[in-house]
Structure 1
Amino acid sequence: MPYCVVGHGREPSPFKLYYELHGDTLQPRKRLLFIAGLSVSCQSWDQQYPVLASTQGYLCCIFDNRGAGFSECPPGPYKTSAMAQDVLELLLHLGWSSDIHLIGVSMGGMISLEFASQFPEFLASLTLISTTAGAPPKLSAIFGLFGVATIRDPDIRLMRNMELVFPQGFLASASSDPRFPTQRERIFHIAKHRTTLTRATTTAGAAAHIAASLGHSVSDSRLNAIRLSLPGKVQVLTGTWDKLVDPSNSAHLAKVLACPLHTYIGGGHSLPTEQADWVNNLICTLCEQE
């Protein structure tokens, strides 16, 4: 398994981050880095990286945040600013120092904001999905996710998590895949498959991610600095049904960053899975923008 050791000199002990590269490693058209959300593995991007790597010639890097998947779980609590340092060290390990298209969802969007604030020279564009600059996610939803993480039965855990991040109307609607009668069965199949490709996040890892999300804060002055460093290269995506991060947070981000706000009417929190084609098209449009 490919690992990058991070944290030397800034953490009590160094630890390993698991990562994967998908696409043309020799002559990629674009290089994309995806940062996953709270308590989930990098396989949460499985509706993005295979498509973008095969159809667009992009080189896609996905990785497990500290405390999730195959990455090690150093003692918490975590901070999104420190997790952005993890990202920096991963990029240096890969030899990626510029022209990176960064995409983050939920807590991954928070880490992306921290990275863009600290290391804007690395970036070609920034896509922020279902995230916030500082207003904490709804406590009821956060602790709902934590409660789900403690459910022992894996199938029940998956179903309860789906009910938190996907709109009920969407789950009940007809599936886009003829193998499944509704989106509920299709999404469950995707989520179940993901569990076979990773390792379950521990309770300690989930708690440390919650601490990072609740303590996250990027001020308007820092957002303005990101706007100046990436003019015309930022976009914000949200869904009107999002019950974890209020869509008003996305509106605030787009206003201060002076960037497009793309809103999916009726969309939930997990847009990369729920509305994959829509998300992929927006990512490609920004990446191809001169």
Structure 2
Amino acid sequence: MPVNGIQVCVETFGEPTEPPLLLLAGEANSMDWWDDEFCRRLAAGGRFVIRYDQRDTGRSTRFPAGVPGYSGTDLMNDALGVLDALGVPAAHLVGLSLGGALGMRIAVRHPERVLSLTLMSTTAGTGEPDLPLTPGRTTTAVRARPAVDWSNRKAAVAGLIAEIRARGGPFTADEPQLRRLAERVFDRSGDLAAARDNHRLAGYGPPVRDRLAAITVPTVVLHGTLDEHFPAEHPRELARAIPGARLVWLEGVGHEFPPRAVWDRVLAEILT
């Protein structure tokens, strides 16, 4: 679909007559990371589910690696552009990590477009993905990434699997399932290196920490107890900053898309 002067690949589940729900993926993640069955179960819960490839991921328009030519604000506007292209005036927003940051910014700057907010594995911090951690803390999840040739299918698939495992927990999918997902991500991606470099360079957009108190829609903060990327102080602060926000801990979950073992809990919280 044409969105903000680029092409964005969009997929929907369920009936357009149901309340719309927009899934916002994390940094450098295509829509494949939102599991197909997870999306179908959301739709079965009475939602018109929308997922899309952010620019530089999947089949959406890509830019030269290291030279994105866009900002975190553009990523936010793309989310709104997807809703506009589908004729959706407002939606339930579900965002993970970078996607959560985008959801917060939409709720602050365009409150009329948001029906509810689900923030997963994210932070009310400065917007820099590796900076808001406790001073002096170094975790496995945020140490320097090993060099990977993202243009090589075998190396890229192995690199993706290693990252998922490093950030996951006991419920993270097994090797065969992770391999199928990583292969699908690679095969649908025009340039994995571009996505990984460019989203990090684009950032999350201007900080909104001081404006979170203006959010009035129902908000739930879902956070894994094993998330080392954004440790426990981050979801606690986020839940305090947004009036009426509920903090729900996902036991045994790391910094990852919801593993199947916690789907019942996550789906119930999103659909409440």
With the length of structure 2 as denominator, give the TM-score of the two structures. Answer: 0.83
| 1-structure distance, mates of 2:112, 2:148 | 38
Match of 1:218 in 2: 208
Give the count of matched residue pairs.
255
Which structure exhibits the higher relative contact order, with contacts defined as CA atoms closer than 8 Å and separated by 6 or more residues? 2
CA distance in structure 2 between the partners assigned to 1:196 and 1:205 by the alignment: 11
SS of 1:96's equivalent in the other structure is coil
| Cα deviation digits, residues 163-211 of structure 1 (max 9, x gap) | 23212x445xxxxxxxxxxx42354255246437722543222112112
Amino acid at match of 1:162: I
Deviations along 1:208-242, whole A, 9 cap, x unmatched?
Answer: 2112347652222x10111xx32xx1111101211
2:272 is aligned with 1:272: no
1:187-202 alignment to 2 at 5 Å? 187-189=177-179, 191-192=181-182, 194-195=184-185, 198-199=188-189, 201-202=191-192
Aligned pair partner of 1:38 in 21, 27, 39:
27
- In 2: Cα distance, 1:194 partner to 1:201 partner: 13
- 2: CA distance, partners of 1:103 / 1:137: 18
Whole-angstrom distance in 2 between the partners of 1:262 and 1:268: 14
SS of residue paired to 2:85: helix
Q: Tell me what 1:262 maps to.
A: 248
Higher relative helix content: 1
* SS of match in other structure, 2:49: strand
Shift of 1:35: 0.6
User: What's the TM-score, normalizing by structure 1?
Assistant: 0.78
Taking the aligned partners of 2:239 and 2:55, their CA distance within structure 1 comes to: 28
Residue of structure 2 equivalent to 1:250: 235
Distance 1:144 1:18, change over 3 A: farther
> What does 1:51-66 correspond to in 2, within 5 Å?
51-53=41-43, 55-66=44-55
- What 5-or-longer segments of structure 2 have no aligned partner? 132-137
Render the CA deviation track for 1:43-78: whole Å, top value 9, x for unaligned: 11124211111x223211101111111111244264
Equivalent of 1:208, from 189, 198, 217?
A: 198
CA pair 201-276 structure 1, distance change in 2 beyond 3 A: farther
Alpha-carbon separation, structure 2, partners of 1:78 and 1:144: 25
- What secondary structure is seen at the aligned counterpart in 2 of 1:48? helix
- SS at structure 1 position matched to 2:259: helix
Q: Percent identity?
A: 29
Quote the RMSD (CA, aligned, Å): 2.5
Label 1:190 to 1:252 Cα distance change in 2 as closer, same or farther (>3 A). farther
Give yes or no for contact 1:148–1:161 (8 Å, CA) kept in 2.
Answer: no
Cross-structure match for 1:71 = 60
1:15 aligns with 2:6: yes
Q: Which residue of 1 aligns with 2:134?
A: none
CA distance in 1, matches of 2:171, 2:149: 23
What aligned pairs does 1:1-290 form with structure 2 within 5 A after superposition?
3-6=1-4, 14-25=5-16, 27-28=17-18, 30-46=19-35, 47-53=37-43, 55-74=44-63, 75-76=67-68, 78-98=70-90, 100-135=91-126, 136-138=128-130, 141=141, 144=144, 147=147, 150=150, 152=152, 153-167=155-169, 169-171=170-172, 183-185=173-175, 187-189=177-179, 191-192=181-182, 194-195=184-185, 198-199=188-189, 201-213=191-203, 217-220=207-210, 222-226=211-215, 229-230=216-217, 233-258=218-243, 259-273=245-259, 275-285=262-272
